[in-house]
Structure 1
């Protein structure tokens, strides 16, 4: 009997050993990039999601870059992945959207964003939805939003200045979400019986966390938040159907008009997923960008001084000092654009994006990538484009961890390039990028021309790998006109106190 038991144990050992060997040495018709596949099924998931407090390239990526080079293989929860920190390969991956690659998100993210969200749709349907969104966030529409954005920023900062301290992470999120939700679905928190905003509180934390849907985990909270938001959006949609607006006033109205068309490709499920994604992505980038910008300016008085001078010059050259911002004044904010570029480069709010190979790809033959070794990406494998590795590469940016807006001098308002992909690239370049930049620029104008601020506590960052401020960022705001009248010679009337 013991002979049989021994044989079973040995057989199991052989099977397990063989399985582990095959997992760690996947078949490939060409040459795979170097790397480790980690443990079967689990892969290197835990290492990837390990929290860190650095602004630098995530340790998971940085350690493997040193060991394997700019392109390496790994796996997350049973999924084989090629990680690219190479600017040329990243650029080509974005450019080959719909040909060699297609947009892809892990199952856990699809559960949160929605199975029919615009990020996972392809071809004509994706193009159609993108054009719908551009009607809201396009150049002409943004011009019309300028005064609304300025009013919202002015009103919020005035309220903050009346408070003893302000927790800026929540305050900026509330402000930007309020504006975005109003433009999308005419949502007004003060008039609504339900708080739509609070369901997004832990969303980014859960979005980029270990996808374990157990009560108490960040991922579970994220899923529950989505369910609540979707119920509220569904309720709003039904209400709007019963009582339609006579004139199209928000994006919801345009969606309803589209749903009425006999030949539409839009469904209610797609429309609701679209609303959900737009609500999150259009406010999260701008809110986090503003928070990071204020934190960086607090620690860099020279940059704050030059930014303030640029905006005070706008006021001095204005015929009517009480008039609102004009589009021409917005476009003249050269140093402000440099601040925004540098902020989003350092923040890396979205640290990585994913694409799936449509077929087996030889990097040298199919993509004309000049590498020392001719690597192959097998069909069905996912490429993780590491944006932070490009944005924080000393080859691309001297002293990459330094906040240096002057590095952007003469480069204008940056779009996408091989070395700058904060808003993605290719066909999937973020359609809300200009909206986010406009909000940041207008807010900074309203802030530095009338107020100064002092950091009280918090401001520490954590990446998991998404960016968070776990202790918030508590700030005290002061009205500069009041301070100048109180003490005209005081420099503290203009610039924050430094610790």
Structure 2
């Protein structure tokens, strides 16, 4: 009987402890009132529900259901981390202005593992370093270099890629776009020449974002494992290039890496590892989401021939005003593309590729009577803002003309394709210019036909379930 009493006591203690632990998990400590929501089950939280794919451009089902139940601000737990999710335009606008005051940049565990923890920590916590990096990026991808030299380089590179595509039976839009943008941005960053590298790694990075959105398990067969394998290829090339450049000071390519090599001589934070993984991070940021957006734009145009017609008229008008039809695209011509910029904006609005913009609270703060606790992740959901029917009529319809009368204030709060605040994407103008040049060449010199695929899936990143295959051919006459 005594043994039974001991066992009953032990079992009771375990049950009480487990019950208390589960209660604490579901009801986290907070000085104040947490936003409504559910923390799901211990450790896993609501991660499984978050990863369930939906076959629509619309706001992810996970977000939409909880917005309906809890409102525009709710709490959850993803991959073991407490998260506040926001679809409130006013709060999002305010939040993204508070960089370094209430919040700091934050990265998913999978992204941190790919970029190394110290790299993400340095760029998150040290504002001066982030500002320095932003200025470096603007110096190579911003409006001035675009105007001075990048625009004709973009036109040449995209024209060459279209010629290659026209010789193939078909291309898969996302993978082809990824390879094109990867090669171009890698050339600016470290003078990468795929034809000399022995392996064109641009193709390897198709749907890389899908792997980043997965649970970071390095097990063969998983999406994250494929991410790591492809990352190693890029890291190897960047490392070899950096070592060659540092060993041979007389080599000057005028690229981004040249500047880093100079900075490594005077700034202690530029360790070799930091330089390598920072370059990889910039490479990833420069091509992944914009290649998905470009592929989705091809899909939107395929489904909307009237938009293609209007685009073609605008670009043919540009060609007719030139002395020579074969002249290079000028900065003035690029800035004059009124309808094209509307198409780009509409594509960016609909193609909210990443499921969220992540930040972390560096102190407790209040919003609408709720407390956002220090250390919690905050996920701003661009799709919920950019597909809001209260802001955009028929939000799932591809309608570039809606941008004719869109005011600057409305755009600032309801269009966050490039983030917001002081850490908005430094490559925003580069992305817009790339898309505009791509469209210029696409509609004036080529025609295309859908071969197969094109079914849109969020899982949770936006893309095509089975790809989107098209045939590209040169226009005759």
TM-score bracket for this pair, using the shorter chain length: over 0.9
1:71 and 2:73 matched: yes
Deviations 1:97-134 (A, max 9, x none): 00011111132221123320475353111111111111
1:253 and 2:255 matched: no
Question: Measured at CA, do residues 331 and 59 of structure 1 come closer, stay the same or move farther in structure 2, by a change above 3 Å?
Answer: same
8 A contact 1:289–1:347 mirrored in 2? yes
What is the aligned counterpart of 1:34 among 22, 33, 36? 36
1:454 maps to which residue?
Answer: 449
Deviations 1:409-441 (A, max 9, x none): 144999961101011111110011111111110
Deviations 1:58-115 (A, max 9, x none): 0000000111011001111221111111011111111000001111113222112332
Question: Measured at CA, do residues 414 and 131 of structure 1 come closer, stay the same or move farther in structure 2, by a change above 3 Å?
Answer: farther
Q: Larger deviation: 342-351 or 241-250?
A: 241-250
- What's the CA shift for 1:377? 0.7
Matches within 5 A, 1:351-430: 351-363=355-367, 371=368, 374-411=369-406, 417-430=412-425
Question: Measured at CA, do residues 77 and 472 of structure 1 come closer, stay the same or move farther in structure 2, by a change above 3 Å?
Answer: closer
1:331 maps to which residue?
Answer: 335
8 A contact 1:286–1:439 mirrored in 2? no
Aligned residues: 472
What is the aligned counterpart of 1:444 among 439, 455, 459? 439
1:311 and 2:315 matched: yes
Distance 2:291 2:408 in 1: 19
Distance 1:171 1:213 in 2: 27
Task: Give SS of 1:190's match.
Answer: helix
Please provide the CA RMSD for this pair: 1.8
1:159 maps to which residue?
Answer: 164
8 A contact 2:172–2:470 mirrored in 1? yes
Question: Measured at CA, do residues 246 and 10 of structure 1 come closer, stay the same or move farther in structure 2, by a change above 3 Å?
Answer: closer
Task: Give SS of 1:73's match.
Answer: strand
- What's the CA shift for 1:199? 4.2
Distance 2:140 2:10 in 1: 65
1:284 and 2:284 matched: no
- What's the CA shift for 1:471? 1.7
Deviations 1:161-211 (A, max 9, x none): 222222222211111111111111111111112433244234211111122
Distance 1:157 1:418 in 2: 36
1:170 maps to which residue?
Answer: 175
8 A contact 1:453–1:478 mirrored in 2? yes
Distance 2:471 2:312 in 1: 18
Distance 1:220 1:406 in 2: 43
8 A contact 2:178–2:205 mirrored in 1? no
Q: Larger deviation: 399-408 or 252-261?
A: 252-261
Distance 2:320 2:123 in 1: 44
Task: Give SS of 2:54's match.
Answer: coil
2:427 maps to which residue?
Answer: 432
1:476 maps to which residue?
Answer: 471
Distance 1:414 1:191 in 2: 48
Q: Larger deviation: 245-254 or 208-217?
A: 245-254
1:25 maps to which residue?
Answer: 27
- What's the CA shift for 1:248? 4.2
Question: Measured at CA, do residues 159 and 23 of structure 1 come closer, stay the same or move farther in structure 2, by a change above 3 Å?
Answer: same
8 A contact 2:123–2:129 mirrored in 1? no
Distance 2:471 2:202 in 1: 24
Distance 1:247 1:18 in 2: 63
Distance 2:79 2:40 in 1: 10
8 A contact 1:202–1:221 mirrored in 2? no
Task: Give SS of 1:128's match.
Answer: helix
Q: Larger deviation: 142-151 or 156-165?
A: 156-165
Question: Measured at CA, do residues 243 and 131 of structure 1 come closer, stay the same or move farther in structure 2, by a change above 3 Å?
Answer: same
8 A contact 2:208–2:288 mirrored in 1? no
Task: Give SS of 1:75's match.
Answer: strand
Task: Give SS of 2:96's match.
Answer: helix
- What's the CA shift for 1:8? 1.5
1:463 maps to which residue?
Answer: 458
8 A contact 1:46–1:210 mirrored in 2? no
Question: Measured at CA, do residues 359 and 299 of structure 1 come closer, stay the same or move farther in structure 2, by a change above 3 Å?
Answer: same
- What's the CA shift for 1:388? 0.9
What is the aligned counterpart of 1:220 among 222, 225, 244? 225
1:44 maps to which residue?
Answer: 46
Unmatched segments (≥5 aa) in structure 1? 364-370, 483-499
- What's the CA shift for 1:50? 1.3
Distance 1:309 1:434 in 2: 24
8 A contact 1:52–1:463 mirrored in 2? yes
1:495 maps to which residue?
Answer: none
Unmatched segments (≥5 aa) in structure 2? none
Task: Give SS of 1:418's match.
Answer: helix
- What's the CA shift for 1:231? 2.5
